[in-house]
Amino acid sequence: MKPDYLSQIDATAMLDQVQSWCAINTGTANIAGLAEQADVLAKAFSQLPGEVELVDPAPVTAIASDGSEFEKAHGKHLVLRVRPTANRRILLTGHMDTVFPVDHSFQQQTWLEDGVLNGPGVADMKGGIAVMLHALMAFEESASAGSLGYDVLINSDEETGSLASSALIAEGARGKLAALTYEPAALPDGTLAHARGGTGNYSITLSGKSAHAGRNPHEGRNALVAAADLILRLKAMERENITINPAKLEGGGPNNVVPDHALLRFNIRPKSTEAMESFDSDLNTLLRTIESEHEVSAHRHGGVTRPPKPVDEQAQRLFDLVRECGAELGQDIKWQSTGGVCDGNNIAACGVPVVDTMGVRGGSIHSPQEFLITDSLAERAALSARVIERLASGALN
């Protein structure tokens, strides 16, 4: 039998909110769209006790094609703190940005069939934000509400690595009993993501010396050749516990000029903390070798943005609690490990147990085929509300 506080979850209101929110383009670089979305979300979350705050993003730099460093703009982040002096406190996180920029062709919503909505951000993760909000609204109607405090963080830059919000995530995680993050389920059947690998993004600027390709090529120092050598050596560093993806090489010019500039961008996916730390050290050694052998200079920018997320005993207890709550509600909760990453990686790195796929059931995220199974809105809100109520009652103590 469902607890009474779950009966007030309004599936129709949830769907209306998701459709309204998804009509606002919130590509990570669309600062105006993110500002509009933040204001709308601030009004929606003001229904909860506590005060909503819109927090400025932390400064973030990136590397331009010419190798120069510049500051990258980001939107504000939403923070809500409820009962900050409570003995038991949890963190709930989500993101308002999507991967679809304002000039992308995928801007409209379409019903693929009854109960299946296609649209930008419907699953990843404006549907998840609605699940979070309505779960908390239901929880506030429970008898246990007064014994649990919580922070809500909805950032504006998750899709690009949360560099402008990582400090806020760490601050929000500090001292928390547990955390729930509202990424969509790993599979359309509701399967949760369990352990995750990590990820890092690097930009390496190589500076050589230009020369005439016919008259005096020997006096030049070819930055593109050095970059090509670097790419091959990076791929040779791959192991079972780490993959390396050279993604973009920029530089060069006229055929009769030895190129003096190259910029290599690449991504790594370490499966363990050991692999992550070993790569970082090995990269520095490799860059010194490239500099010596090619007589160029190398400058690195970036690094690991999300550490690997193993599931320890404490985190497994939280997964087990979610499964128990699902069983109470007639939901069969499963999980599997994944190579994807999210803010759950950052939270776990703070030593806080987290389940980071508490959002809707859907699929094909990051593509124009993204879809939401609308029945999952109320379903997953009930699951979250029950988990939160159990946490308030001391389930992990």
Q: Tokens 């949890």 identify what position?
A: 90
Rounded average pLDDT over 126-153:
98
pLDDT tens-digit map of 217-232: 999 999 999 999 999 9
Mean pLDDT of 21-27: 98
On whether the CB atoms of residues 309 and 335 are closer than 8 A, the answer is no
- pLDDT score of 1 more than 80: no
303: alpha, beta or left? (left if phi > 0; alpha if psi -120 to 50): left
**Average of per-residue pLDDT across 285-313:** 97
What is the average pLDDT score of the chain?
97
CATH annotation of 199-306: 3.30.70.360
DSSP state, 99?
Answer: S
Cβ burial 287-316 (10 Å sphere, 16+ → b, else e):
beebeeebebebeebbebbbbbbebeeebe
* Separation of alpha carbons 162 and 136, rounded Å: 24
Structure tokens, 132? 């979070």
Cα distances from 258 to residues 108, 119, 292, in angstroms, run 48, 48, 18
Q: Which pLDDT band holds residue 397 (cuts at 50, 70, 90)?
A: confident
Q: Is the pLDDT assigned to residue 2 strictly greater than 90?
A: no
Q: What pLDDT is attached to residue 218?
A: 97
- Of all residues in the chain, the percent with pLDDT exceeding 70 is 100
Region 132-140: mean pLDDT is 98
306-314: average pLDDT:
97
Sign of CA dihedral 240, 342, 376, 372: negative
The arithmetic mean of pLDDT across residues 190-206, rounded, is 98
Residue appearing with tokens 């003096």 = 260
Residue 139 has pLDDT above 90, yes or no: yes
Is residue 256 predicted with pLDDT exceeding 90?
yes
Q: What is the per-residue pLDDT across 166-189, written as a single tens digit (0 to 9) for each?
A: 999 999 999 999 999 999 999 999
Kindly list the domain boundaries of the chain, sorted by start residue: 4-196+309-392, 199-306
Give, in words, the CATH class of 4-196+309-392: alpha beta
- What is the per-residue pLDDT for 31? 98
pLDDT for the residue numbered 175: 97
For 70-113, write each residue's pLDDT tens digit.
999 999 999 999 999 999 999 999 999 999 999 999 999 999 99
Q: What is the DSSP string of 37-91?
A: HHHHHHHHHTTSSSEEEEEPPPP-EEE-TTS-EEEPP---EEEEEE-TT-SEEEE
